[in-house]
Structure 1
Amino acid sequence: MKIAIIEDSPKEQQQLVEYLQTYNQLQHLEMEINHFEDGESFIQSDFADYDIVFIDIYLTGINGLEIAKVIRQKDAEKILIFTTTSKDHAVESYRVKAFDYLLKPYQYELLVEVMERCLKQLNAKSKYIQVKEGRIQIKVLLKDIIYTDYNNHYIQIHTSQRMIKSYMPFDQFAPMLLCYPSFLNCYRNCIINMDKVSKMDTTDFLMDNQERIPIARAKRAEIRQQYADYQFAKLEGTL
């Protein structure tokens, strides 16, 4: 899960980060938090990847409502949460489909309520798997997985944030992903997320993180055809 905070007050930004980190530790989520001091820097970033965006309405330069309008031009469903010291813009926030409106100063308990509702909405749209890392059960969104491999009895799940290691047999893990059309077992004990492929070459896949994953020689034609069929199905809108 990727979260952006657009906040020009260091104190308010730090408090929200601490609240989110506390919630993350208690819920055992995979959370990446990035901070932007103004709307311009956020808009210039690759903001499409963020699942949740906290936006202070009163910012220097472009204000929070204008930022939300820019986001909505490209993404009608992204979760937007306004943080502000005034109720004056509540009506306007609904016009840009704000998920919630936090009035400063707010307590941690209120943020927990909002995050619980956020998770429910994200889970409704984004499937996840649950694996055990050490003694902790970790939820991993499918869209965050780049590829998985197997080493020394551990499943290694490579995500956009980090690598997660879980002690389990590959034949027990594989069905958790291969039941979804976007995942492909392209090499011995290795599964890729075809949505994270940047390019397919003759002998391997170039992933979005610039790693190359080999295609099994014995099944090269079959695997290349599966990838081509998946991309065609996406274009046709049949997935």
Structure 2
Amino acid sequence: MTMLAIVDDDASARARLAGFARRYMQENAEPLEIREYSSAVDLLHHYKPQYDIIFLDIEMSEVDGIRAAHIIRETDPTTILIFVTNMAQLAIKGYEVEALDFIVKPIDYGSFAMVMHRASQRVERRRGQTLSLTARGTTQIVAFDRIGYVEVRNHYITYHTTEGDITVKGTLAQAEEALRQGNFMRCNRWYLINIDNVTGIDGNRVTVGDWTVEVSRSKKQEIMRAVTLSMGAVR
């Protein structure tokens, strides 16, 4: 089940997008749940990282789509953001929040379907990557996209996830092996970061969701190239 949110203060625009989404679902036999919001304020109220894809109108009163995206990225580095706008030049700001794409109004089904296909592919790729972790007798299945970074200290591995921290015994090499199918990279001798979830690089620090992690000088350029490639791969 794909969870999709449509945020637009224009009721007719919301209805049009929702109709296109249902049509796409029927044509591709994909289960889909849609929730509509008439403002970004409504979406952000008690926001939880539950949506796979969010369509955000850029020009809204109170809180515009760009501001809303920045707020979303503070707690949710993985949801796929797609901007909807009357002015294509405004969508360039989407790079600041790692938006997947944008659609220009008035929207036609062909344009929507292309963007939706790209977003659906990314959702499926993420869902296929999970890790089984057993801590204190309890086993949890964690999706790679919910992992921000991995920290190793004193032969214990802590997986920092959007649902909380999970600590198990092990080494950094073992964590790398477990995550080899994902897009994880060492940023220093203690940490692995999820390149797909990086939202900023400032000096020798990288931001991954709510976390800030130090990057060694020898790894900085490699990390920057990997982040650039990750962003380009989904646009």
TM-score normalised to the size of structure 1?
A: 0.56
CA distance in structure 2 between the partners assigned to 1:119 and 1:88 by the alignment: 25
Deviation at 1:76, TM superposition (A): 1.8
CA distance in structure 2 between the partners assigned to 1:87 and 1:181 by the alignment: 42
Deviation at 1:5, TM superposition (A): 0.6
Counterpart for residue 125 of structure 2: 124
CA distance in structure 1 between the partners assigned to 2:136 and 2:110 by the alignment: 45
Matched AA of 1:34 = R
Deviation at 1:227, TM superposition (A): 8.1
Matched AA of 1:236 = T
Counterpart for residue 150 of structure 1: none
Equivalent residue for 1:230, pick from 139, 142, 164 = 139
CA distance in structure 2 between the partners assigned to 1:49 and 1:236 by the alignment: 24
Deviation at 1:89, TM superposition (A): 1.2
CA distance in structure 2 between the partners assigned to 1:45 and 1:35 by the alignment: 15
Matched AA of 1:86 = M
Counterpart for residue 107 of structure 1: 108
1:89-108 aligned within 5 A: 89-108=90-109
Counterpart for residue 191 of structure 1: none
Matched AA of 2:55 = F
Deviation at 1:226, TM superposition (A): 8.9
1:3-42 aligned within 5 A: 3-42=4-43
Deviation at 1:233, TM superposition (A): 8.5
CA distance in structure 1 between the partners assigned to 2:89 and 2:68 by the alignment: 17
Structure 2 residue runs without a partner (length 5+): 141-156, 160-165, 169-174, 179-235
Q: Secondary structure at the match of 1:34?
A: strand
CA distance in structure 2 between the partners assigned to 1:60 and 1:9 by the alignment: 11
Matched AA of 2:167 = E
CA distance in structure 1 between the partners assigned to 2:88 and 2:111 by the alignment: 16
More displaced stretch, 30-39 vs 91-100: 91-100
1:156-167 aligned within 5 A: none
Counterpart for residue 71 of structure 1: 72
Matched AA of 1:53 = I
Counterpart for residue 163 of structure 1: none
CA distance in structure 2 between the partners assigned to 1:45 and 1:27 by the alignment: 32
CA distance in structure 2 between the partners assigned to 1:96 and 1:52 by the alignment: 14
1:175-214 aligned within 5 A: 181=132
C-alpha RMSD of matched pairs (Å): 2.5
CA distance in structure 2 between the partners assigned to 1:114 and 1:20 by the alignment: 11
CA distance in structure 2 between the partners assigned to 1:82 and 1:115 by the alignment: 12
Deviation at 1:127, TM superposition (A): 2.5
**Distance change in 2, residues 1:97/1:77 (3 Å):** same
CA distance in structure 2 between the partners assigned to 1:41 and 1:228 by the alignment: 40
